[in-house]
Amino acid sequence: METILKITNLHKKYRKVHAVNNVSVEIKKGNVYGILGPNGSGKSTTLGIVLNVVNKTSGEFEWFDGTYSTHDALKKVGAIIERPNFYPYMTAEDNLKLVCKIKNIPYTKVFEKLELVGLLDRKDSKFKTFSLGMKQRLAIASALLNDPEILILDEPTNGLDPQGIRQIRDLIKVIANQGTTILLASHLLDEVEKVCSHVIVIRNGVTLYQGTVDGMVASEGFFELESENLAQLESALQQLPQIEKIEKDENKLLVYLKSHLEPGELNTLLFKQNITLTHLVKRKNSLEEQFLELTKH
């Protein structure tokens, strides 16, 4: 698969803060990536570096196998960072035309993209008259002007109202379905879980996990069990080799697994020991639980 962006051993040190610490990432064409990390974890700095607005301290990054200089590569990238930045005194259309001039492309896509984000009827309004949601959608239109190879979104739903968040999410899904590679930085996990196929988890500038979403949540999972006699249940469970640990949660037992165990199998085993279960559920950690687990101090 074609590599779009390759980051190798990237470091960024501000005076006292080591904002990005040895980050290596490879972005392949066609995937939707989520970068997860608490606020201040170095997500935006990493994106800033590959987008030519922050200077790296050391390390390398390479767009499209290094066939273009960074600023020419960026002409094939669409990116939105934190808040929409446009000239407030220009209309939506003029702002997009200016971006076309910068990217050195014809104006042909301006109306199409305004239509896509639902701003065509406001094309002659000045940017300063827009609501935050509209500004954010204009930013997406602007990032899509060149039908980019990759769309980079840094906290695209920050500060939006529920409708705005929904609109942006739907847009991202539409764009992802068209086969555009997306890199989505966010600390909102359900956002990432809903649209991304791959995740990169960063904390304090260090990469903690890198791989598929499924891979991240694919631990063996755990059972929630209830029975009339919990003590008996617990001692019976401790005999089983597949079990890693048992936690008590009010009148439930949370049973974590080391290796694979089917609920039916467990039920049969327990029934043979005259234990009847009143509650049996097998669950997997959500991305959120897994993320909090990973980023715990």
- For position 94 contacting other proteins by CB under 8 A, the verdict is yes
Alpha helices in the chain (DSSP H): 43-50, 70-74, 92-103, 110-116, 132-144, 162-177, 189-195, 213-217, 230-238, 263-272, 287-295
Is residue 53 classed exposed, middle or buried when 0-12, 13-18 and 19+ CB atoms within 10 A define those classes? exposed
266-270-272-276 Cα dihedral, nearest 10 degrees: -120
Q: Which of 44, 136, 142, 186 binds other proteins (CB under 8 A)?
A: 142
Q: Estimate to the nearest angstrom the gap between the alpha carbon of 29 and the chain centroid.
A: 16
- For position 87 contacting other proteins by CB under 8 A, the verdict is yes
Rounded Cα–Cα distance for residues 122 and 212 (Å):
39
Rounded Cα–Cα distance for residues 99 and 46 (Å):
23
- For position 125 contacting other proteins by CB under 8 A, the verdict is no
- For position 101 contacting other proteins by CB under 8 A, the verdict is yes
- For position 147 contacting other proteins by CB under 8 A, the verdict is no
Q: Which of 72, 112, 244, 289 binds other proteins (CB under 8 A)?
A: 72
Sign of torsion over alpha carbons 212, 216, 219, 223 = negative
- For position 196 contacting other proteins by CB under 8 A, the verdict is no
Q: Which of 10, 35, 36, 77 binds other proteins (CB under 8 A)?
A: 77
Nearer to other proteins, 103 or 194 (CB): 103
Q: Which of 3, 24, 30, 98 binds other proteins (CB under 8 A)?
A: 98
Rounded Cα–Cα distance for residues 34 and 238 (Å):
39
- For position 55 contacting other proteins by CB under 8 A, the verdict is yes
- For position 51 contacting other proteins by CB under 8 A, the verdict is yes
- For position 86 contacting other proteins by CB under 8 A, the verdict is yes
Q: Applying CB under 8 A, which residues contact other proteins?
A: 48, 51-55, 69-77, 79, 81, 83, 85-90, 94, 97-99, 101-104, 142
